[in-house]
Amino acid sequence: MSQEFETETTTRAETAGGDERETTAAETEVISLLQRAYLGELSTVVDYQTNAVVLDGLLAQEVVESLQADVTEELEHARLIAERLSELGARPPSSAEFTAGPESLRPPEDSTDVASVVRGVLDDEEAAIETYRDLVAAARDADDPVTEDLAVRLLGEEESHREEFSGFAREFDES
Ligand SMILES: [Fe+2]
């Protein structure tokens, strides 16, 4: 688990010239985080879809249904992020910039190893939550309430996914 740092708030009274550069840097950070979030969402779509198809066995049904529902939600997240990037005059990245999701989310060799996929999903949701927390802070710094509002909404939905899969993880621990 990486350590969270609070984003330092700079005093705008420092210098008049410096103020403008700081704002630009904050806006650049917002774009960069939106692009990272976009790629993260699409990578999640691939891994959840793959695991939803690969998993089988008696224990898999509920997790598979949940993964399928999340695929739809994460794809919608990607669409919203792409639209926000466009509104900010930036382009969503292409697959050329794709980064791999967490290794723990690769489909398990044993297709009945549902617990392994649940752990992978928790790692993936944790990474998304961290990105959206960073985005909330960066959007606030950039005085961009629309992006901040989007980031808060997506953060809430990722936390809800994490909660759901934490429930599955508890069931596997107890069985
Ligand atoms: Fe998402």
| Domain CATH code at residue 139 | 1.20.1260.10
Interval 47-60 mean pLDDT: 95
Q: Which of 17-21, 96-100, 104-108 is predicted least confidently?
A: 17-21
Distance (Å) from CA 10 to ligand 1 centroid: 30
Q: Which residues surround ligand 1, an ion (CB under 5 A)?
A: 41, 74, 77
What is each CA distance from 118 to 32, 45, 108, in whole angstroms? 29, 15, 11
pTM for the full predicted model: 0.84
Distance (Å) from CA 70 to ligand 1 centroid: 8
**Position 23 confidence tier, pLDDT thresholds 50, 70, 90:** low
Number of domains in the chain: 1
DSSP 8-state assignment for residue 144: -
User: Does any domain span residue 7?
Assistant: no
User: Does any domain span residue 125?
Assistant: yes
Burial of 32 (0-12, 13-18, 19+ CB in 10 A): middle
